Chain A
Amino acid sequence: MTPEGLILGAIAVPLGGAALIAAAHRMPDLREGVTLVAAAALFLLVASLAPEVLAGGRPGVHVAEVMPGIALAFRVEPLGMLFALVASGLWIVNSLYSIGYMRGNNEQHQTRYYVCFAAALASTMGIAFAGNLFTLFLFYEALTLVTYPLVTHHGTEEARRAGRLYLALLVGSSIVFLLIAIVWTWQVAGTIDFVRGGILSGKVSNTTMGILLALYVFGIGKAAVMPVHRWLPAAMVAPVPVSALLHAVAVVKAGAFAVVKVVVYVFGVETISGMTSVDWLPFVAGFTIIAASIVALRSDNLKRRLAYSTVSQLSYIVLAAALLTPLSIIGAALHIATHALGKITLFFAAGAIYTAAHKTEVSQLAGIGRRMPWTMGAFAIGSLSMIGLPPAAGFVSKWYILSGAMATGQWGAVAVLVAGTLLSAGYLLPIVYRAFFLSPAASHGHHEEHGEAPLTMVIAVSVSALGTVALFFFPEALLALSRQLAGVG
C-alpha cells in the first residue's frame, strides 16, 4: 500500500471498525472480534508506515481545502509516528482487557462503548498524523466528543457531572484559547502548517510570542497543565479501560503531543530559545508536577491517585519541551511512550483489583499481592517506570529530560525532577509494600475469597508490564524517532 493509503487507512480502519461493531450489536462475540481485528489491523497499518519515516521520509496526504489556504491534510513526522505507534499498539492490549472487564463487571451499553472507543482511536490517529493546526484542532475536538459517552458511560448523576466538567474544560479551553491561538497564528504567519523550525520566526514580537504560547498551553486542556487539569480526575468515573487507554494514553497524550508539536513545529525551538516572554512555562509545568504529586500522595482512592499521577507526569513532558534543548526534546517524546506503557499497566492493575476484589481504595489493599500476584507484580513494574527506576522504561525518558536540564544548567528544573521522583516513589511504593508485605485486616471475612481477575485482563496487564520492561532494554526504534524530532539523528 502507498503511504497515502496507509495514512488514510489509519483513520478509516477504526471508523469502519466502529460501523461494523455497531452492526454486530446483537452478537457480542462477533462485536468484540471486530474490535480486536480492527485494533490489530490499525497497528499493522501504522507500523508499516514506520520504516519510511525512520528513513527520513515524511509522507503526507492533502484531503481537501476547507477554507482558502486551510486544508484538511496529514503529514507523518517522527513525533506523530511515535504517538500513533504507542496508541494503536496499546489499543490491542486494551481491547483484550476491555472484553474481560466489561463482561466481568456486567456493564451496560457495551456496543456503544466499543463504537466510541474505535471512534476515539480514529480521532487519535487524526491528531497524530495532522499536517496542520486546523486538522489537529478538528480531530482534537472530535476526540473530546466521542470520549464523552465513555466518560458518562454509567449514566449516573455523578457521571453526568463529570461529563459536564469534562466538556466544559476541554471544549471550553480549546474553543476559547486554542482556536484564538490558531487563528492568530494564521493571521501573523500566513500558514498553519507544521514546519520544521517553526512558522513564527521573525513574525511576532517577544510579548506576542509569550501570549501565544500561553493560549496554546492552556488551550490544549488535554495536557492537563494546572489549572486546566480538573477534568482528568473527574473523568475517572468512567469504566477502568477508558481511564487506562484514553486518560493515560490517547486523550492526555494527545494533549502532551500537541504541546510538544506546537513548540517544535509552530514556534520552533531555535526561535523561542532567546525569547524572555516564554520563561514562565517551566514554572507552570514544574508547579503542576509538584502540586499534582502532593494531591496524589493524599488520595486514598486508587484511580484518583493514578489520575493525579498522570497530571504530574504529563507536565514532565511539557517541562521537557519547555527546556528547549535537543536532549530534553528527546526525553519529551520518549516520555509520551514510556509513561503510556507504565500508566496503562497501573490502570489495568487497578481495574483488575476492582473486578476481582471490588476494592477501590488504597487502604483496602493490604495483602492483596498474595491473591493477585500477577496483577500486583505488574503494578510494581509500572510503579518503577513512573518513578523512573531501571529496569523500567520510565528511566530512559527521565534520563534524557534530566540530562537536558543539567547540560543547560537549568538547576530549578533539575530540582523539580528530583522532587517529583521522590514524591512519585512516595505515592506508589507504599501501595506495592502494602500489597505484598502487610496482612489483610481479618474483619473482611468472605470478601477476601477471590483470586486473580479474568484471564484476558491478567494477560493484558502482564503484556503491558512486559512492554514496560522491554522498552527499557530495546528503546532503539522510539529513540531514533525522538532523535529525528530533536534534529540530532
Chain B
Amino acid sequence: MISSHLPILLVVVPLIAAPVMVILRSGTAAWILAIAVSWTALAIAGVLFAQVAGGGTISYFLGSWPAPWGIEYRVDRVNAYLALLVGVIAAAVSIYSPRSILSEVEPGRRYLFYTMYALCLSGLLGIAVTGDAFNLFVFLEISSLSSYVLIALGRDRRALVAAYQYLVMGTIGATFYVIGVGMLYLATGTLNLSDMAERLPRVTEPRAVLAALAFITVGVSLKLALFPLHLWLPNAYAYAPSAVTAFLAATATKVSVYVLLRYYYSVFGGGAVFLALPMAEILLVFSLAAMFIASTVAIFQDDVKRMFAYSSVAQIGYITLGVALASATGLTAGLVHVFNHALTKGALFLLLGGIALRAGAMRLGSLGGIGRVMPLTCFGIVVGGLSLIGIPATVGFVSKWYLVQAALERGSLSIAFAVVASSLLALVYVWRFVEVAYFREPDAKVAALREAPVSMLVPAWALVAACVYFGIDTDLTLGGAAAAAEQLLLGAK
C-alpha cells in the first residue's frame, strides 16, 4: 500500500528529484520537475494532515526496523501542520521561480538552482517528519547546506559574503545542536525522540541534560534567528535571489521553531523547561527585544528587502513570545503565527521579487512612485504590510488577538501592551514604503517600468489572498495550531 509510505515519500520524492535534475542538466526540465515535486509534497502533506487531524499519530519505521534500532518517522498534529505549511509555500514558489531567476541566475546554473531547491525542500520536510534526533541533524544539514548555495546564487556579489556568514553561523548552530544530541544520547542511550522523552525523567545526572538543553536551545535559536542570534538573517534575505528569500523566510525559520518546540515539549516535557528552569523568562526577554529592536532597525533600513528581513526577526519574536507564555493560548498564538507569518512574508518577498526583476534596485530612494507603474505588486505589498501590522481581516490580526489574550490570561497587561505597541513600529516601516510608492512622482527610470509578469503575480497574489482569507476563515490555521498546541501540551504531562 502506497498510502502507508506517505511519511517517507514526503522526504524521498524531492530528495530523488535533486540528482535527476543534475542528470538532466536543463533548467526547464528541472523547473517542471520542481513543480511536480513541490505539488506532490503539498498533496502528501495535505493527506497526512487530514489523517492525523483526529488526534492520531502515524509511526513509520524506515526499512521496517523497529524503533530503538531503526529510524522512526512520526507524524502527529504538530508536524503535519508544519509540513502542510512548507508544502503550501513550496507550491507557490515553484510556480513563481522561473521568471524570478531569469535575471538573477545564469542560464547554465539554473538546473543547479532547482537541484538545491529540491534538496532544501527535502531537508525541511525531513526535519518536520523525523522522530530521530540524529536523523533530524542530517536533514538540518541538508537544508542548511543547500540554502547556503541558494543564497550564494544571488546576483549581488555581497550574496557570497552573506552566504558565507550564514554558513559560519549555521555551522555553529548545527554543531551546538549535535553536541546537545550527543549529551542526550549519553544520558539516555537512545536517539529516538519519544524514547528519549520516556527515559529522561529517570536520568540521575541532570547536569548533562541541562547542558544538552542549553546547547540545543542555542543551536536551534541560531537557525531560527532568535534575537540576538539573528545577525546572519538580514544579509542572507537581502542578497539571496527573490524566490529563495521568499522560500527561506516562509519555511526555514519556521521549521527551526518547530524543532525547538519539539524538544521543549515532547522531549523535555515542557514542565522541566518552563517550571524548573527560567527558560520562559529568558525567551520572553529575547522575544520582546526582537519585537522592539528589530522593528526599530527595520524602520531605518533603506533597502526594502532588508527592511522586511528585519521585520522577520521581529515577527519571529512574536512566535517565540507565544512559546514563552507557555500556555495553551500562548502556544496556539505562536503556532498560528508560524503559519500566518509564513503566508504574509512569503507573499511580501514574492511581490518584492517582482520589483527586483523590473527595477533591479531595491533602495527606497530609487523606487519613488512605483505604486503607479506596478499597481498590483504595490497594492499586494500594502495588504501584506497591513497583515504585519495586524489589521483585522488579515492573518496578522488573528495571531495578535491570541498573543494579547495569552498575555492577559497570564495577568500581564504590560506584555499585552508590548505586543500591540510593537505592531505600531510595523505601521511605521510599512508606511515608509507606502509613502515612497504612492506620494513621490516616478522618475524617468521608474516611469519606464512595467507591472511584474503574470507568472509571478499569480502565486504572490494567491498568498496575499490567503493572508486575507485565513484572516476571516481560521478553521484550518487556528484549528491546526490549537490542535498542535494541545498535542504538545499532552507531551508535557
Whether, in the assembled complex, A488 has its beta carbon less than 8 Å from a beta carbon of chain B, the answer is no
Known contacts A142-B392, A179-B400; 9 additional CB pairs below 8 A are A64-B473, A67-B398, A134-B392, A138-B392, A160-B439, A171-B424, A179-B420, A180-B416, A186-B405
Q: B61 contacts the other chain (Cβ, under 8 Å)? A: no
Is A66 touching B404 in the complex (CB atoms < 8 A)?
Answer: no
Contact A176 B405 (CB under 8 A): no
Contacts of A183 in B (CB 8 A): 401, 404-405, 408, 416
Contact with B along A35-68 (1 / 0, CB 8 A): 0000000000000000000000000000010111
Asked if A364 lies at the interface with its beta carbon under 8 angstroms from chain B, I say: no
Q: How far is the CA of A18 from the CA of B417 in the complex (A)?
A: 36
Contact B423 A175 (CB under 8 A): yes
**Interface digits, B466-491 against A, CB 8 Å rule (1 contact, 0 not)?**
00000111100010000000000000
Rounded to whole angstroms, the CA-CA distance of A187 and B401 in the bound complex is 11
Residues of the A chain whose Cβ atoms lie less than 8 Å from the Cβ of B389? 171, 175
Contact: A145 with B386, CB < 8 Å? Answer: yes
The 8 tightest CB contacts between A and B, nearest first, are A138-B392, A183-B404, A176-B420, A187-B408, A175-B420, A141-B391, A160-B439, A183-B405
* A451 interfacial contact with B, CB 8 Å: no
**Cα–Cα distance between A183 and B399 once the two chains are bound (Å):** 13
Does B462 interact with chain A (Cβ within 8 Å)? no
Number of interface residues of B (CB under 8 A): 30
Residues from chain A with Cβ under 8 Å of B390 in the complex: 175
**A180 adjacent to B474 (CB under 8 Å):** no
Q: Which chain A residues border B465 with CB–CB below 8 Å?
A: none
Q: Does the CB pair A164–B409 fall under 8 Å?
A: no
Quote the shortest CB–CB distance from A233 to chain B (angstroms): 21
Q: Which residues of A contact B439 (CB under 8 A)?
A: 152, 155, 160
| A-contact 0/1 string along B382-421, CB 8 Å cutoff | 0000100111110000101110110011000100110011
Question: Are the CB atoms of A64 and B472 closer together than 8 Å?
Answer: yes
- Chain B contact residues: over half helix, strand or loop, or mixed? helix
- Structural contact, A137 and B473, CB atoms closer than 8 A: no
CB-CB under 8 A from A64, the residues of chain B are 472-473
Q: A175-B424, A179-B400 are in contact. Are A66 and B474 (CB under 8 A)?
A: yes
Asked whether B435 is an interface residue with its Cβ less than 8 Å from the other chain, the reply is yes
Pair B431/A72 contact, Cβ less than 8 Å: no
* Any B CB within 8 A of the CB of A366: no
What band does the interface of chain A fall in when counting residues whose beta carbon is under 8 Å from B?
A: 20 to 34
A134 to chain B minimum Cβ distance, whole angstroms, is 7
Report if B427 contacts A (CB, 8 A): yes
What B residues does A12 contact at CB under 8 A? none
Q: Which one, A167, A175, A187, contacts B431 given CB within 8 A?
A: A167
A179 to B403 Cα, complex, angstroms: 12
Closest residue of chain A to B386, judged by CB?
A145
B417 and A176 contact, CB distance less than 8 A: yes
What chain B residues lie within 8 Å of A138 (beta carbons)? 392-393
Asked if A142 and B417 make an inter-chain contact with CB atoms under 8 angstroms apart, the answer reads no
Q: Tell me the residues in window 148-196 of chain A with beta carbons closer than 8 Å to chain B beta carbons.
A: 152, 155, 160, 164, 167-168, 171-172, 175-176, 179-180, 183-184, 186-187
Least CB distance from B177 to A in Å reads: 35
Contact A187–B409 (Cβ < 8 Å): yes
A176 and B421 form a contact (CB under 8 A): yes
**A172-B401 contact, Cβ under 8 Å, with A180-B416, A183-B408:** no
* Contact of A172 with B392 in the complex, beta carbons under 8 Å: no
Task: Give every chain B residue within 8 A of A167 (Cβ-Cβ).
Answer: 427, 431
Q: Which residue of A lies closest to B424 (CB)?
A: A172
Closest Cβ of chain A: how far from B186's Cβ, in Å? Answer: 44
Tell me, rounded to whole Å, the shortest Cβ–Cβ distance linking A168 to chain B. 8
Q: Which residues in B have their C-beta under 8 angstroms from that of A66?
A: 398, 471-474
16 residue pairs from A and B, CB less than 8 Å apart: A66-B472, A67-B398, A67-B401, A138-B393, A141-B392, A142-B392, A142-B393, A160-B435, A175-B389, A176-B420, A179-B404, A180-B416, A183-B401, A183-B405, A184-B408, A186-B405
Give chain B interface residues in 420-441, CB to chain A under 8 Å. 420-421, 423-424, 427, 431, 435, 439
What is the minimal beta-carbon distance from B429 to any residue of chain A, in angstroms? 13
A187 to B439, CA, bound (A): 41
Taking the closest CB of chain A, its distance from the CB of B382, in whole angstroms, is 9
With A and B bound together, what is the CA distance between A203 and B413 in angstroms? Answer: 18
Q: Which residues of B contact A184 (CB under 8 A)?
A: 408, 416
* Cα distance A67–B329 in the bound complex, in angstroms: 13
Max count, chain B CB within 10 A of own CB: residue among A134, A142, A180: A180
Chain A residues near B435 (CB, 8 Å)? 160
Contact of A145 among B391, B405, B420 (CB under 8 A): B391
| In the complex, residue of chain B having the shortest beta-carbon distance to the beta carbon of A144 | B391
- Of all chain A residues, which has the CB nearest B413? A180
Q: What are the interface flags for A316-333 relative to B under an 8 Å C-beta threshold, 1 for contact and 0 otherwise?
A: 000000000000000000
Q: Which of A67, A72, A141, A180 contacts B478 (CB 8 A)?
A: A67
In chain A, positions 64-86 with a C-beta closer than 8 Å to chain B are 64, 66-68, 70, 72
How distant is B6 from chain A, measured CB to nearest CB, in Å? 30
Q: Determine the residue in chain A with the shortest Cβ distance to B482.
A: A68
Minimal Cβ-Cβ distance residue in A for B440? A155
Q: Tell me the minimal C-beta distance from B231 to chain A in angstroms.
A: 30
Of the candidates A155, A164, A172, A187, the one whose C-beta lies within 8 Å of that of B405 is A187
Q: Which residue of A lies closest to B405 (CB)?
A: A183
A190 to B41, CA, bound (A): 40
- Tell me the complex Cα distance, A179–B419, Å: 11
A164 touches B431 (CB 8 A): yes
From known contacts A171-B389, A186-B405, infer whether A180 and B420 are also in contact, taking CB-CB under 8 Å: yes
Residues of chain A in range 287-304 having any CB-CB distance to chain B below 8 Å? none
A67 to B403, CA, bound (A): 13
Min CB gap B17→A, angstroms: 39
Q: Which residues of chain A have C-beta atoms less than 8 A from B401's C-beta?
A: 67, 70, 179, 183
The answer for the CA separation of A67 and B481 in the assembled complex, in Å, is 12
Bound complex: CA A230 to CA B223 (Å): 45
- Shortest Cβ distance from A97 into chain B, in angstroms? 27
Chain A residues with Cβ below 8 Å from B471 are 66
A176: chain B residues within 8 A (beta carbon): 417, 420-421, 424
Point out the residues of chain B lying under 8 angstroms from A172, CB to CB.
424, 427
Min CB gap B378→A, angstroms: 13
CB-CB < 8 A to B400: which residues of A?
Answer: 179
Query: A68 vs B416: C-alpha distance in the bound complex, in angstroms?
Result: 20
Given A160-B435, A164-B431, A187-B408: A180 and B473 within 8 A (CB)? no
Q: In angstroms, how far is the closest chain B Cβ from the Cβ of A101?
A: 23
Kindly state the separation between the CA atoms of A126 and B192 in the bound complex, as whole angstroms: 54
Complex-state Cα separation, A308 to B474, whole angstroms? 42
Q: Complex formed: what's the CA distance from A64 to B392 in Å?
A: 14
Mask: chain B, 364-392; 1 = CB below 8 Å from A; 0 = not: 00000000000000000000001001111
| A67 contact set on B, CB distance < 8 A | 398, 401-402, 474, 478
A216 to chain B, nearest CB (A): 15
Query: Closest Cβ of chain A: how far from B366's Cβ, in Å?
Result: 19
Name, among B391, B405, B427, B478, the residue most crowded by chain A CB atoms within 10 Å (CB to CB): B391
Give CA–CA (A132, B17) in the complex, Å: 52
Bound-complex Cα distance A171 to B408 (A) = 21
User: How many Å from the CB of A155 to the closest CB on chain B?
Assistant: 6
In angstroms, Cα B406 to Cα A187, docked, is 10
Bound complex: CA A70 to CA B404 (Å): 15
Least Cβ–Cβ distance between B111 and chain A, in angstroms: 44
Chain B residues with CB under 8 Å of A155's CB are 439
Q: How far is the CA of A14 from the CA of B107 in the complex (A)?
A: 50
- Complex: A155 Cα to B439 Cα, angstroms: 6
Q: Quote the shortest CB–CB distance from B430 to chain A (angstroms).
A: 10
Complexed CA–CA distance, A66 and B470 (Å): 9
Closest residue of chain A to B391, judged by CB?
A141
For the complex, what is the distance from the CA of A72 to the CA of B397, rounded to whole Å?
Answer: 14
A433, B398: Cα distance in complex, Å:
55
Considering the complex, give the chain A residue whose CB is closest to the CB of B408. A187
In contact, B417 and A180 (Cβ under 8 angstroms)? yes
Contacts of B478 in A (CB 8 A): 67-68
CA distance A67 to B405 in the complex (A): 12
Task: Give complex CA distance A301, B102 in Å.
Answer: 57
Bound together, the chains give a CA A164 to CA B471 distance in angstroms of 26
